[in-house]
Chains A and B, each alone.
Chain A
Amino acid sequence: DQQVKQNSPSLSVQEGRISILNCDYTNSMFDYFLWYKKYPAEGPTFLISISSIKDKNEDGRFTVFLNKSAKHLSLHIVPSQPGDSAVYFCAANRAYNAGGTSYGKLTFGQGTILTVHP
């Protein structure tokens, strides 16, 4: 049961253009969403997050959009740079389980390989 899905295994973009990475989720209990970037032979690095009470969060070249009704989030990178070439994972967190205690486990998508060409 894949609760978080990234349906595009790869994305290729020209330097300077916008990169848009997409992520869909099925569990309406998720209330905190994150994007991680991963280079080969390194661990995932936190990039940006958004709480379910917001629909947009911006940090420099990176913006995350959340559409709760569609259960969809996206990461926009503008402008894209060759150094942005990496695997990008979206992840979702559920703060509280049905019993009311904090849950906090991250559920990850499969990842999207972004390649930015010079």
Chain B
Amino acid sequence: DAGITQSPRHKVTETGTPVTLRCHQTENHRYMYWYRQDPGHGLRLIHYSYGVKDTDKGEVSDGYSVSRSKTEDFLLTLESATSSQTSVYFCAISSQLSNQPQHFGDGTRLSIL
């Protein structure tokens, strides 16, 4: 299994509070991704990174920001959490941008009350 660790695994917080999720990899892969999974939607890309300090938006990026200061860490921040951001968040990594599978962490279940 790819060495991907997401933390925390579960979090409950209140509307309006900031939240940061962490993805840590030990594979030295260049590309990292954040997805959210919601019923009826599959997985949707929030943000991705193609190198240290190089990030770009995905299809559902509103309300989220990311940072990547080291190859191994990719952080997802909800500046002011809303109930619509209650979801399961998955981090993924890949060694190439195309024609290679992405490998996923085990997810963070985030509940915003």
Q: Which residues of A contact B (CB under 8 A)?
A: 4, 6, 31-32, 34, 36, 41-46, 49, 51, 89, 91, 93-96, 102-111
A108 to B, closest residue via Cβ:
B42
Given contacts A34-B101, A43-B104, A93-B98, contact A105 B43 (CB under 8 A): no
With a cutoff of 8 Å between Cβ atoms, the chain A residues found around residue B98 in the complex are 31-32, 93-96, 102-104
Interface size on B, residues (CB 8 A): 26
A110 pairs with B102, CB closer than 8 A: no
A95 to B, closest residue via Cβ:
B98
The 8 A CB mask of B2-21 against A (1 = contact, 0 = none) is 00100000000000000000
Complex: A17 Cα to B3 Cα, angstroms: 35
B46: min CB distance to chain A, Å: 11
B109 to A, closest residue via Cβ:
A41
With a cutoff of 8 Å between Cβ atoms, the chain A residues found around residue B97 in the complex are 95, 102-104
With a cutoff of 8 Å between Cβ atoms, the chain B residues found around residue A91 in the complex are 43
Q: Which residues of B contact A (CB under 8 A)?
A: 4, 31, 33, 35, 40-45, 48, 58, 90, 92, 94, 96-99, 101-107
A106 pairs with B45, CB closer than 8 A: yes
Pick from B31, B44, B90, B96: contact of A43, CB below 8 A.
B90
Complex: A6 Cα to B40 Cα, angstroms: 10
Pick from A31, A46, A110: contact of B101, CB below 8 A.
A46
A62: min CB distance to chain B, Å: 14
With a cutoff of 8 Å between Cβ atoms, the chain B residues found around residue A49 in the complex are 101
With a cutoff of 8 Å between Cβ atoms, the chain B residues found around residue A6 in the complex are 42
Given contacts A42-B106, A106-B45, A108-B44, contact A32 B99 (CB under 8 A): yes
With a cutoff of 8 Å between Cβ atoms, the chain B residues found around residue A89 in the complex are 42-43
Pick from B40, B58, B101, B104: contact of A105, CB below 8 A.
B58
A-B residue pairs in contact (CB < 8 Å), sample of 11: A43-B4, A43-B106, A46-B102, A91-B43, A95-B97, A103-B97, A104-B94, A104-B97, A110-B40, A110-B41, A110-B42
